Structure 1
């Protein structure tokens, strides 16, 4: 693998079956694809990245007002040096802000807690919610393709993610002052969720682990959105669609002297969805690997492993 596959989303309308095969085969071989012609407005992406720069430029004492102790980072601000990759020895060099699904009226699940918005930056809420809704819809189109590829009805995922505790995470990796630090911007890890859609970053650093053990730098084509399989989807597909290890390395100078910004969208199942390997993904060659577990129980198990929940 020299690079991850690029998939033209305009095929969704032009030839859905061909689109489904491309998406499924791309994920089965790599766990990562880049989506082009995806319909998410580039101006919206640029404005969201710009408002994130403004957010993280706020004074530390202001940002820390929006940190919720004991909240596991579910909403609002998580300070620099909090999260650690599973089995890693050093914390990641990043700070972030979590935005969840906006719910009108009573939340259908207790996990869907109210969002936290910075009063100092009124534009943040509007831009970030627009981007949340756009990426949520894009993720569902990818899942429709995967449902067909996995021999399920096209709408198989629709009622399983419509009230998921999906998270948009504006991320800031500050400039690296200590070139000899043992920490990296994001240690090697797999994502917990169903699918991750990544907009940004305009700076290098993201790398994907290939099957031969080499690390492949992901060069983001202008306008493309990176989309990868998470552990929940890997578990549902009995490993047919792999959740691929990836990391954000500390870049060489001059990039190391600059901040890196990106906005991943972590698409989640509804909390009560039972994740159990699909019958279509179980065979003599690939016997059932995992037992059933609810999406919320699995999420909490993993959040404890990475230090966000004590």
Structure 2
């Protein structure tokens, strides 16, 4: 089996032939935990603008960026400096820095304790407008993907609408700096699985993203420019009792001819709402067996994992 089996589908097909689209996507998620989507409806202009704003922020002096570091909050909002996040079970930190944008909630909202207010860097003009727009667009696109997943699982196609309403989703702006000297055991992102429901990733065209197949091979995930990489997170794996795979993936260091290039990407980690109880869906546990995982709320699981990856 080769990487060519990772489904590459057009979101336009979801409207034309929803069943065929759901089957292609679902099979890819069962086998690889990943799929690639073209024609996803996130405007090119917005993507380019967001990339530009991200680059402007990461080019700021270190002391300017560190003004937006909130100690003790697990990097939930604002800036997380280079060399902090460490993949679960690894000792070597990742070679990256990032910025988090979350959902804005009204004053006194029941999820306020789980979802702090956003920070916005005053040094980058229209940063806030750009990323609020991108967050909303990702949210909308994510619902279309979840609708196809629901169809594949034999659920009503609106099944996920309520589960992710006001979910603790996070848009991450990532910067992997150029590498001018040996990095030892450190790589751009150590092998890990995502915590959330599904991840929608823009900016994976620069080589480096790899996934681990069921038979233990690392294979590249290679979208064309502007395409969206989608992968299943732990929360959806738990909900489907392992039918949809939350696959180990990593970002390896560049080849010597690309080492002087920085890598930028923008994953959107779509989350269930904080109080949603993640327990195996009916029909996903074989007769006579117990579910693979105990029920846990989305926020309970998130906090557990943030401690494991040294963000808390």
Q: Matched residues in 2 for 1:285 and 1:13: separation?
A: 39
Alignment pair present for 1:288 and 2:291: yes
2:102 partner SS: coil
**Structure 2 match to 1:92:** 94
Q: Matched residues in 2 for 1:285 and 1:47: separation?
A: 53
Q: Matched residues in 2 for 1:180 and 1:290: separation?
A: 37
**Structure 2 match to 1:146:** 149
Q: Which sits farther off after the overlay, 108-117 or 257-266?
A: 108-117
Q: 1:118 to 1:260 in 2, by over 3 A?
A: same
Q: List gaps (5 residues or longer) in structure 1.
A: none
Could you tell me which of 175, 180, 184 is aligned with 1:181?
184
**Given the two structures, how large is their TM-score scaled by the length of structure 1?**
0.96
**Structure 1 match to 2:38:** 36
CA deviations 1:94-115 (Å, max 9, x no partner) are 0000000122443330212110
Which aligned pairs between 1:40-189 and structure 2 lie closer than 5 A? Answer: 40-109=42-111, 110-189=113-192
Could you tell me which of 205, 216, 221 is aligned with 2:219?
216
Q: 1:184 to 1:155 in 2, by over 3 A?
A: same
2:283 partner SS: helix
Q: List gaps (5 residues or longer) in structure 2.
A: none
Q: Matched residues in 1 for 2:11 and 2:290: separation?
A: 33
Runs (4+) off by over 4 Å: none
**Given the two structures, how large is their TM-score scaled by the length of structure 2?**
0.96
**Structure 2 match to 1:16:** 18
Aligned length: 309
Q: Matched residues in 1 for 2:254 and 2:20: separation?
A: 37
Which aligned pairs between 1:155-304 and structure 2 lie closer than 5 A? Answer: 155-284=158-287, 287-304=290-307
Q: Which sits farther off after the overlay, 61-70 or 200-209?
A: 200-209
**Structure 2 match to 1:5:** 7
CA deviations 1:45-72 (Å, max 9, x no partner) are 1111111000100110000000000011
Q: Matched residues in 2 for 1:26 and 1:117: separation?
A: 37
Q: Which sits farther off after the overlay, 4-13 or 244-253?
A: 4-13
